[in-house]
Amino acid sequence: MIRLGMVNYINTAPIYEIWKEQVHRPDWPVTEAPPARLNQLLAAGDLDLGFVSCYEYAARPEQYRILADLSISATGPVGSVFMFSSVSPEELDGKLVLMTGQSDTSVWLLRIILEDFFKVKPQYIRGEIFAPRTPEDEPAAVLAIGDEALRLATAKDSPYPVQIDLAEFWHQQTGLPFVFSVCAVREDFLAGAKKAAQELHQTLLSCRDQGQKRLPKIAEQAARRIPMDPTACLHYLQAMEYDLGPAKREALKEFFSRLIGHGAASEKALPLKIFQ
């Protein structure tokens, strides 16, 4: 048996919709959850393999290997990882920034952008983006990801006039894509089930390749979950990338180097360990 973790956002639809349609393996049970929850499950050994925040690999690299040629990434705007702010980023020093609890990678991407590029240090809190708050508790900015970010980005009455697509800003500053999630497999699982992991890996790659060819239909299905316009959903999914080619690996190295510099990742995160 292989216990697989799958991110429950529409950005995995080009892989997961094909998987649900074609893969009927009781010995490959799937757990759907936000990235941060999948991180916890994989770290605890409650999953064997799955899409997790790339931060999870950087924090515990001795436990994992990264499956070759699989990621959830973008070169330029991603459209679902935003900082929404009531003031310009340069004015956020010392101000309250509310960050989603659903993705450690996005949290650290925001911190690196604010601290390394804008040279500000806000007060960070983690919490629910849409939780009721008093005016005194209202943050100056929020980090929203996934389906929540898509809702805020298209809201007509948003209290946040400043919107920064974090993947787009990262690309502007570094010239690199940004890799939000990798598919990681536990080393202790690989020790006794290498061939089974290779079979599942090839199945995921096949689902991805088929999903890319059927993107318009998949966008129609995924759009109902938000809900959002199917054309807008298609444009969003077309901006997502699912490979882990040389540019993506360089992007991981750059991000991990910065995490190590912030004391937020293990120095063993580099060099990358890739499972073919």
Residue 6's closest CA among 183, 140, 127? 183
CATH 3.40.190.10 location in the chain: 4-75+178-275, 81-174
- Those residues of the chain that have pLDDT short of 50 are none
Q: Which pLDDT score, from 0 to 100, does residue 101 have?
A: 76
Q: Which pLDDT score, from 0 to 100, does residue 135 have?
A: 66
Q: Which residues of 252-272 are buried (b: 16+ CB within 10 A; e: fewer)?
A: bebbbebbbeeebbeeebbeb
Contacts of 231 (CB under 8 A, 6+ apart): 219
- How far apart (Å, rounded) are the C-alpha atoms in residues 269 and 266? 6
| CATH code at 81-174 | 3.40.190.10
CATH 3.40.190.10 given to domain 4-75+178-275: yes
3 state SS of 26? coil
The helix/strand count (H/E) of the chain reads as 10, 11
3 state SS of 263? coil
Q: Which pLDDT score, from 0 to 100, does residue 138 have?
A: 84
Beta bridge partners of 98: 125, 142
Q: Which pLDDT score, from 0 to 100, does residue 134 have?
A: 66
